[in-house]
Every structure is written in structure tokens, then in C-alpha cells.
Amino acid sequence: MNLIGNINAIPFRRFRGGGGVAPFPSIPGMIARYSALGLTNEQMAVNPVWVDKTGNGHDLQMKNFAWKERSGISDIYPGALVFDGVNDYGVCENFPILTKEKGYTVVALRQWLSFQDIGYPILVVNSTDRLAAFSFENFISKTKSTWNWGRSVGLSDYKIPLLYTYQTSTSYNSKTIYAGATEEGSNILQVCRSGIYCANAAIWEIVILDHDATEEELTKIKDYFVKTYPWLFPDQAWTVVGKTNEDEDRATIANITGNGNDLILSNFGFAEGSGYNEQGEYAGYLVTDGVDDKITSSIFEMGNDWTIIGDWELINTEKKDNAGIVKFNSIVIYNYNPILINIKNGRNNLIPDQNTVNAICSDGRIYSKDWKESIYNEETESTSKNFLTIGYSGNSYTKIAFKNLAIYPTVLSKEDCIKAYNYLQTLKAK
């Protein structure tokens, strides 16, 4: 089962800009909150405690961490704490007792990185095993479940979100779940461990309430996440990593946000040079042939404010091709050797000595492969409800090597663009 799912049905407000750390919303009944933002491996190595930011003193004692990239604070997953799946975990032994009468809520901003074939690695559990108030997300390779008051809830028919996820005593990510016979919680809270099994995950935030959250409370939490971690919340995103020419779904590139706007491949030979390349300069990329290969989205809306980030490269055709990556009224990228970029029907800008760029912002900022910033036009007003096309436009075709692309509903700062680009490289299609 693919863990790339809907970020959630709960709406969130769109923010311009990003990256600033706003105060966490005031929510009555918040008994614990853990945030990895601002932590360093050096700091945690000296004092391996994940402090409860509510001030309630329900700190997690962190066990067995190496305090480096894959076992500690991560550069690959900016702002997250990575649990290695071997023996890393956190434990609190003075957690308040939750009651069935009031319920509970556990919210996490997390990404599962891999899955075991045996055991029961759990993201967050209110005990040393599963028989307490909650055992939130028990994921092994063949089975996905969660536990509610001692009752197992299979998740095979549920959309499992990639990042933002939550559970109350009545629902898992807005879908109804039912309670078991357990009457009260435990004074133990464990993160990424149950029994002898540890989970491999990147965790940005965990929030726990002593009651079933209202939709308003959940929206406040999600809005905070979107504002604080804008690089994690694209409107649209696609990657070809893990796909092959032999896949049954080879002609579809799934939208990893769960928005349902997949990319459709037409006329591909599904071989080297017209499909997913396994060798050579463009190994790991989808390559169009420049003759009739085309990639097309369904119609979707882009507002006036946006950022496009991706890993792709236009291939020299020794001519000017009116094709590349195109969404009219928002962005035009043509293979003109060098690249021609037109932002929101502004002036055409030739990007010298480049066959790719890392990011384009709707305010006119363009970032080269080495993250050099150029500003090519003043900001104008423009929105689009057109298709996104890759490798062709109208009757024109061009060669492009495509790995991933994300469209954000905000104008990201340079720092957040870099975080978004790096994070996008960690995602897989399957």
C-alpha cells in the first residue's frame, strides 16, 4: 500500500510568504506538545530530552540516538527529528491519565520512512504496548492499523496522509473509528516504540489533547503547521522516483498530495529516451523524445501567489522549441537554448547558460542550480485554470528529463525554497 495520501479534508488558510515561526495557537486541554524545530544534534547529545513545550513537564527521554543525520536532527528532513527504526525512541513516564469520558486527540506532522515486516512499530502509544487510550499508527509493510481504547482499527480502506495526521477517540483523519474495552489510559507515553519494535519515521511535531478535538481546534493546529513548515505543503506535487517502464501504471504519475490531479503520459515508447531511464546521464528521470511524447495534467487552479520547485532538465535540441513546462497565464518555460521563462504573462526572459532552474516564484525570483537568485520582472496579477503540460505545448514538442515538480500556494523565501527542493528529493512514487 502506498502511503502517499490526502493531506486531509480539514481546510486551511493560504498564507503569503512563510518560514516565520508564529505562536502555537492556544487550545484548552493541550497536555503535551513536542516540536523538533530549532533543536540541534549538538544540543540533544548533551541533554537528550525532548521538552514538552506546553510547560506541563511531560518531557520525553530520548533513548539510543546517535544524534546525527539518520538518527537525530535532520538536514534531509528540515526541522524534523528522525528515528532510525532500530532502537531510537522517546518515553515519558509521568503522562496524565486519559479518560474514556473526555476522549483524546493526538496530532502529528510526520513521515514514515520505512516499514518492518514483523512486529508492531507504532508512531505514538499511550503505554508500553497497545492496550491503553491510543496506539496511534501501527505500520508494518503488509498491515496498517491504529488502536483506540484497546481496539485495533485496520486502515486498508483508509487514506493514510503523507504528513499531517490525527486521531481522536471517534475518528482517524476524519473517518469514524470505534472504541475497545479499555477504560482509561496509562501514565506512559512512548514515541516510535512498542515492545522491542521501533519505528523509522521523521517527526516534526506531536500535539496531544485531553479531549476529542473540535474541527476548529484541528484547523488551528493545521494552519500553524502550514504557516511554520510551508515547504511541506505543496498544492500539487509529482515524482517519478521508483517508477519503471514495466509498471502497470507507467502512464500515470500520481499527485503525491492526494489531490487527485495526476499527470498522464501519452505516446511514450516506455524505453530509454522515451520513458523511465535506468542508465546514463538521466538515470532515474522520465525522458520525453521531443517528437510526440507529452505529459498532461487535468485542469487545476493556480492563484496569483505561487512557487514552483523541481528537478528537471531541458535537453538541447539545437532549435527553439515552444515547449517545456507550461501552464498558460501562470508560467511558461520554453526550451530555447538557453531557457526562456515567462511569468504571469510578463516579459520573456532568457536565462543564460542554463538548461534547468531549481525554483521560480510568482514575484519574479528565479533560482539557478547553484541557488543564485535573479529577479526578472515586477510582480503582476494573474491566475490560471489551465492544464499543466510537460514536454509539449500545442503542436510543439521538446526533450525534457523530468524527476519531480511541486507547486506551492505561497511565495516562498529562498531558505524555504531550498528546504522544499531538498525535501522533494526524499519522496517516492511507490
Beta-strand runs (E) in 117-196 = 122-125, 134-139, 144-148, 151-154, 164-168, 171-172, 175-176, 189-191, 193-194
pLDDT digits (tens, 9 = 90+) for 216-240: 999 999 999 999 999 999 999 999 9
| Residue 50: CB atoms within 10 Å | 20
State the average pLDDT over residues 269-280. Answer: 96
Using omega within 30 degrees of 0 as the cis cutoff, is the peptide bond preceding 338 cis?
yes
CATH code assigned to 30-232? 2.60.120.200
Residue type, 207: V
The overall average pLDDT reported for the chain is 92
For the chain, the maximum distance between any two Cα atoms, rounded to a whole number of angstroms, is 72
Convert the pLDDT of each residue in 91-142 to its tens digit: 999 999 999 999 999 999 999 999 988 788 999 999 977 778 999 999 988 8
Sign of CA dihedral 152, 158, 162, 165: negative
pLDDT at 60 over 50: yes
Q: Is the pLDDT of residue 307 over 70?
A: yes
Q: Rounded to two decimals, what is the model's pTM?
A: 0.90
Domain ranges for the chain: 30-232, 236-424
Answer whether residue 11 shows pLDDT above 60. Answer: no
Read off the pLDDT band of 430 (50, 70, 90): low
Mean pLDDT within 38-62 = 98
Instruction: Give the C-alpha separation, 306 to 244, whole Å.
Output: 31
Which pLDDT band holds residue 178 (cuts at 50, 70, 90)?
very high
How many angstroms separate the first and last alpha carbons of the chain?
9
Same fold, 30-232 and 236-424: yes
Cα angle: 334, vertex 335, 338; to 5 degrees: 110
Report the C-alpha gap between 317 and 341 in whole angstroms.
Answer: 17
Report CA-CA distances (Å) from 42 to 47, 59, 88, 202, 298. 9, 19, 17, 18, 47
Residue-level pLDDT at 112:
95
Alpha carbon distance 311, 284 (integer Å): 11
CATH number for the domain formed by residue range(s) 236-424: 2.60.120.200
Q: Does 24 score more than 80 pLDDT?
A: yes
Strands (DSSP E) contained in 185-336 are 189-191, 193-194, 197-198, 200-209, 236-239, 252-253, 263-266, 275-276, 286-287, 294-296, 307-314, 321-327, 331-335
C-alpha separations of 126 from 51, 198, 280, 310, 365 in Å: 17, 15, 50, 39, 47
Contacts of 234 (CB under 8 A, 6+ apart): 257, 406, 407, 408, 409, 420
Dig out the grid coordinates for 124 from the structure. Answer: 505514538
**H-helix or E-strand containing 223?**
helix 215-228
